[in-house]
Structure 1
């Protein structure tokens, strides 16, 4: 994973236009197509092996699946559409007030002063407020205004891949027909027990089912590897590239509101829930030194 990240960073630095032209369409399409693919495979192939398609549990599974997919697609869309650049600020806030001027820094690329924690992205060609990183799966920078949507996108991708894997393994456990197509069961019965009377009735079904498990394992591993990168951000109010910077850590509850807005964790319900951020991303309160906590 680190190797892939380093290669992408080097490519983006040396050839930003080419990087954007290649990776953005490919990665966004991969996420959209993959989400729809796993949704259809789950509901029309795997789940019917577990629940009666006319029963209440099957209908409940549909509701859960639709809820997760709508949050994946919705959060990706709103994340992309939400401008988190310094240019998104009202015109009067794009320049520092006299008492704030010493906190702002000058961007040589944008030829302007930018607020604390804002810095330039060569791919977006602008400075992003509290820039976290540039995400190729949303084709935009992640920062102060759209971090909420990016976090829930990561969360629901991980949740969806976990539930898909659980449902697959549950189908293996409860349905004999499904279980006999699983490659490990097939190997055990045909090699270890030397029961050569057992054959694969339908090779297409056999290959499809095991290929599906392999794809889900990759998706499951990738999503769970990416999600932990975001968790320290809540504890420390930091960013992807400044993980050890604890200057802005105001405690977990306040950090959550700074990142997700006034409604905090309730924003998990939908990207369309209004959750105003506490400030515009130009003023960042620093944590008090430990020696001054009681002062």
Structure 2
């Protein structure tokens, strides 16, 4: 994972325009196609083999699936459409007041002063408020204004893939016919009946789906593993050791998610105003300017 990230960062810095033209469509397309594929497989193939299609549990599974897909795509779209650039500030807030000027830093690319925790993105060609990182899966920079949407996007991606893997494993447990086609089951049982029973289309499908489920589960799990410490400590992806802004979990959560806090989990459409515009950051200790 680290190797991939370092490689992507190198290519993005060396060829920013080409990177955007290829990585953005690929990342967004992967999310859209993956969501459509796993939702279709789960709801039209796996779940009907576990629950009665006319029963309550099947209908409940559909409601859960729709809710998860809505939050994945809704937060993804909101993240893309919400700008965290310094230019999104009102004109009067793009210039520091005299009391704050010593906290702002000069951006050599934009040739202007920018607020604390803001830094330049070569791909977006602008400075981003509390920039976390540039995300190819939402085709946008993750910063102060859209971090809430990105965090819940990764959470629902994780929830969705966990449930997909869980239902698939449940199918293997309760369905003997499917289990006989599951390669690792025969390896664990240490008998060669798998080879003698032959390989058919169902066998290939069962094993390919399992591998895809595992990969689909691991990737968002790694994404959320990076974001939980960021939210808990009020840091960013590239400044994980800077704990000056850590005011405790409750304050950090409210600062990044807005005044409605945990309610934002339910829907990207819920309005949750942030505590400030991204230019004033309270710290544990006063920031001393170095002349």
Normalised to the residue count of structure 1, the TM-score between the two structures is 0.93
In the TM superposition, 1:223-234 aligns within 5 A as: 223-234=220-231
Change (3 A) 1:50 1:92: same
In the TM superposition, 1:49-198 aligns within 5 A as: 49-187=49-187, 192-195=190-193
1:157-180: CA deviation from partner (whole Å, max 9, x where unpaired): 111111111100100111122222
Partner of 2:214: 217
Structure 1, unaligned runs of 5 or more? 290-295
* Superposition deviation, residue 261 in structure 1: 0.6
CA–CA distance in 2 between the matches of 1:181 and 1:273? 45
- SS of the equivalent of 1:53 reads coil
Change (3 A) 1:24 1:194: closer
**Count of matched residue pairs:** 286
CA–CA distance in 1 between the matches of 2:103 and 2:30? 40
C-alpha RMSD over aligned residues: 1.6
CA–CA distance in 1 between the matches of 2:104 and 2:66? 44
In the TM superposition, 1:8-87 aligns within 5 A as: 8-87=8-87
1:200-224: CA deviation from partner (whole Å, max 9, x where unpaired): 5x71121112111111111111111
Change (3 A) 1:205 1:127: same
- State the 4+ residue runs in structure 1 displaced beyond 6 angstroms: none
* Superposition deviation, residue 233 in structure 1: 1.4
1:93-138: CA deviation from partner (whole Å, max 9, x where unpaired): 1100111111111111111111000110000000000000100111
Change (3 A) 1:37 1:194: closer
- SS of the equivalent of 2:277 reads coil
In the TM superposition, 1:200-211 aligns within 5 A as: 200=198, 203-211=200-208
CA–CA distance in 1 between the matches of 2:258 and 2:264? 8
- SS of the equivalent of 1:11 reads helix
CA–CA distance in 2 between the matches of 1:160 and 1:198? 36
- SS of the equivalent of 2:241 reads coil
* Superposition deviation, residue 235 in structure 1: 2.1
CA–CA distance in 2 between the matches of 1:198 and 1:273? 57
Among 239, 242, 245, the alignment partner of 1:242 is 239
CA–CA distance in 2 between the matches of 1:26 and 1:123? 16
CA–CA distance in 1 between the matches of 2:156 and 2:227? 13
CA–CA distance in 2 between the matches of 1:180 and 1:263? 50
Structure 2, unaligned runs of 5 or more? 287-291
CA–CA distance in 2 between the matches of 1:242 and 1:12? 19
CA contact (8 A) 1:24 1:136 kept: yes
CA contact (8 A) 1:181 1:209 kept: yes
1:244-274: CA deviation from partner (whole Å, max 9, x where unpaired): 1011111110100111111111111000100
Range moving further from structure 2, 219-228 or 124-133:
219-228
Change (3 A) 1:138 1:197: closer
CA–CA distance in 1 between the matches of 2:27 and 2:97? 40
Normalised to the residue count of structure 2, the TM-score between the two structures is 0.95
- SS of the equivalent of 2:197 reads coil
